[in-house]
A and B are shown apart, each in its own frame.
Chain A
Amino acid sequence: ETGVTQTPRHLVMGMTNKKSLKCEQHLGHNAMYWYKQSAKKPLELMFVYSLEERVENNSVPSRFSPECPNSSHLFLHLHTLQPEDSALYLCASSQDRALAKNIQYFGAGTRLSVL
């Protein structure tokens, strides 16, 4: 158990649905991250939040909309997704985003299937 909890574990949605992924960290960290993990590809960083402010958006399509209401919670709102968006979505947190030595702690991810 890394102190980062993601729900749901699995999600199946149609292309016209709207759903949200939730991440909660119990570590007192100030930075939170969303990653996309697709088969046979490196993890792709999607969004970075620091003290609830979005500081990085790696050219992610607007059908993915993050929200960070406080430093412990992070959401990823999904709408009108495409089948190629099917992947494992991982949330991570770290003490802060600045120090390179800070370890990122990961959740177990949400396995998303878009039909």
Chain B
Amino acid sequence: AQTVTQSQPEMSVQEAETVTLSCTYDTSESDYYLFWYKQPPSRQMILVIRQEAYKQQNATENRFSVNFQKAAKSFSLKISDSQLGDAAMYFCAYRSTNFGNEKLTFGTGTRLTIIP
């Protein structure tokens, strides 16, 4: 079974600075998807970024980028130019491509605080 570990329960960053949230996972599969979701105080989980394991190029979405290290099974999220609206819980998630094993496996999350 796959597991996802987020070792930083809480992080804080000064507004306009850069912060990196870490995520590691364990799997024996070669193809899969990794996701970062954001859950603000409104509780609605929103997708931040998605990465396919077969793509070597790191995904980017505006101020959000990932550092995907497949051999190390690491999938960190970098937030540049942090804004107050980035304050939220961030969850890393894994999804197998095998049919019949479609559930999203989540980590325990990292609470990000933005300091004005």
**Does B56 sit at the interface, judged by CB under 8 A?**
no
Q: Tell me if A43 and B50 are in contact (CB < 8 A).
A: no
- Known A42-B4, A43-B91, A98-B99; contact A104-B104, beta-carbon cutoff 8 A: yes
Chain A, interface SS category? loop
A106: interface (CB < 8 Å): yes
Contact assessment for B104 and A45 in the assembled complex, using a CB-CB cutoff below 8 Å = yes
**Which residues of B are found within 8 Å of A42, using beta-carbon distances?**
4, 105-109
A residues apposed to B, CB below 8 Å:
1-2, 40-43, 45, 48, 56, 58, 88, 90, 92, 97-98, 100-101, 103-109, 111
* Nearest 10 interchain pairs by C-beta: A106-B45, A100-B97, A108-B44, A43-B106, A42-B106, A45-B103, A108-B43, A100-B33, A109-B43, A100-B95
Q: Point out residues on B near A: beta carbons under 8 Å.
A: 4, 9, 32-33, 35, 37, 42-47, 50, 52, 91, 95-97, 99, 102-109
